[in-house]
Amino acid sequence: MNLRRLRFHGSLLAACFAIASPVFAEVIAVKPSDDLARISASAKPGDEIVLAPGVYGATTLTNIRGEAGKPITLRGPMGPNFAEFDAKDGPYALRLSQCTFVTIENLIMWDARDAALDVETLGPKAEQIMLRNIGFGFRNSTRDSIGIRVSGVRGLTIDKCRVNGVGGCGVHLQHVEQAIVSALDCHPRNRMQQQTGIVVGGPSKDVVITRCVFRYGIKSILSIGVRYDAAEIEESIPLVERCTVTEVRADASQCFLELGSVLGLSVKNCSTLDAQGEIFTIILPPPGRPALEGEIDHILATWSPGFLRRFGSIEAKASAEKLRLGSNLFFSAELPEAAKVLGTIPGTPTSPQIMNIDPKIDARGVATEPSARGYGVSDLGPSKPS
């Protein structure tokens, strides 16, 4: 073979090798003085954007698009120094607009007057957004701010996040599918009551809320199928379809469950301890929307004498006929008399599920009395928020 032909074959081999070579994901280091929005816009599927410790200003990330199995990850350090986004009383600390297949983790966000972390998609739903190990702090508690607000996502995960001092709600979900909220810790401040723990608005479906803790001072823990944007709701569909709530602990709430148009509701093994108002309330659905349908089973509720106004309430013209109540445990020193005064739980002719058994709650909020085991949370486990 002559030299010219050898060079030709060598060049062809090199070209074929270049075509066959995989494109490797990059680890992109970013510091507070860098233009994070510009750097993120150039990221490829599978890339990791690693933030150095420090304070970053309010940032909007637009059209960051990973792929299935190759998300684009925005990651802060694990500590002891953190990457922090400070809204400085602006509308948001971090906003994701039209992003899909994105993971955000190990960050702290401060002082947004609207939503500290805002995820919004207009048009077709975004796919696979994961928000993990993020802390939200609100030093100005006079506003009805939101910790995490998500709209227009299919395949949402919110895991091991903590919301401290918010005035509005910890998590607000709307127009989501296949969403899971796990190990959320909502911790209000003493000088201002938090309005809601988690809002699941419409239209949404296949939502799971599990292993969450809501500390003292939240007015309504879970609002499901009550809030919605009328412009986006078709007639004759539920606001929320298939919602599962399990292993949730709420301390000293005025209302544990606020329920509207929900089909396929399942609330099991939850504890509302030191209740200070009512266990649940049923809201009249919007015109044309189906009424509540589902079950509440093996929940545990305790309260101090004089603090529980009623077991539950039904708004005028609302219906609880399709709400099934399983075996639930209610305990208070005043229960024998309270059962006469407060009446049975709405929607049931009798209340055999009311049992006056001291559950002997331990520090985890778990019932240790043998006859009370199986009611309320069993153990928040390793994913309990810290």
| pLDDT tens digit sequence for 32-90 | 999 999 999 999 999 999 999 999 999 999 999 999 999 999 999 987 899 999 999 89
Contact 52, 77 (CB under 8 A): yes
* SS3 label, residue 36: helix
> Residue 340 above 90 pLDDT?
no
Segment among 134-148, 155-169, 324-338, 368-382 with least mean pLDDT:
324-338
pLDDT of residue 2: 52
- Cis preceding-peptide flag for 285 (omega within 30 of 0): no
Q: What confidence score (pLDDT) does residue 325 get? A: 83
Residue 97: beta bridge partners?
62, 120
How large is the average pLDDT for residues 322-344? Answer: 73
Predicted local confidence at residue 165, as pLDDT: 86
Task: For residue range 225-282, list pLDDT tens digits in order.
Answer: 998 776 666 666 789 999 999 999 999 999 999 999 999 999 999 999 999 888 889 9
**How far apart are alpha carbons 242 and 208 in whole angstroms?**
9
Question: pLDDT digits over 106-152, tens only?
Answer: 999 999 999 999 999 988 899 999 999 999 988 865 578 999 999 99
Cβ atoms of 99 and 131 within 8 Å: the answer is no
Give the per-residue pLDDT at 79.
75
Residue 4: band (very low, low, confident or very high) from pLDDT cuts 50, 70, 90: very low
Nearest to 250 by CA among 282, 216, 276: 216
Beta carbons of 307 and 275 less than 8 angstroms apart: yes
- For the chain, what is the mean pLDDT? 85
- Which amino acid is residue 257, in one-letter code? L
Determine the Cα–Cα distance for residues 261 and 289; give it in Å rounded to an integer: 6
Residue 286 in this model has a pLDDT that exceeds 90: no
pLDDT band at 23 (very low <50, low <70, confident <90, very high): low
Given a cut of 60, whether residue 370 has pLDDT beyond it is yes
* pLDDT value at 3 more than 90: no
Q: Where does the pLDDT of residue 104 fall: very low under 50, low under 70, confident under 90, or very high at 90 and above? A: very high
* Predicted pLDDT of residue 352: 47
Q: How would residue 25 be classed by pLDDT, with cut points 50, 70 and 90? A: confident
Q: What is the mean pLDDT of residues 314-320?
A: 86
Q: What percent of the chain has pLDDT over 70?
A: 83
Question: Residues in the chain, how many?
Answer: 386
User: Tokens representing 265?
Assistant: 């509701």
Q: ω before 349 within 30° of 0 (cis)?
A: no
Render the burial of 327-347: b for 16+ CB within 10 Å, e for the rest: ebbbbbebbeebbeebebbbb
- CA dist 292 and 174 (Å) reads 18
What 8-state DSSP symbol labels residue 40? H
Q: What's the token pair of residue 317? A: 């013209």
pTM for this one? 0.89
Please say if the pLDDT value at position 18 is more than 60.
no
Measured distance CA(147)–CA(114) in Å, rounded: 9
Check residue 22 and give its pLDDT.
52
Q: What is the C-alpha radius of gyration for the chain, rounded to an integer number of angstroms?
A: 25
pLDDT at 335 over 90: no
187: confidence class by pLDDT, cuts 50, 70, 90:
confident
End-to-end CA distance of the chain: 71
Q: How far apart are CA 180 and CA 177, in angstroms?
A: 9
The answer, yes or no, to whether residue 383 has pLDDT greater than 80, is: no
Give φ, ψ of 37 to 5 degrees: -60, -45
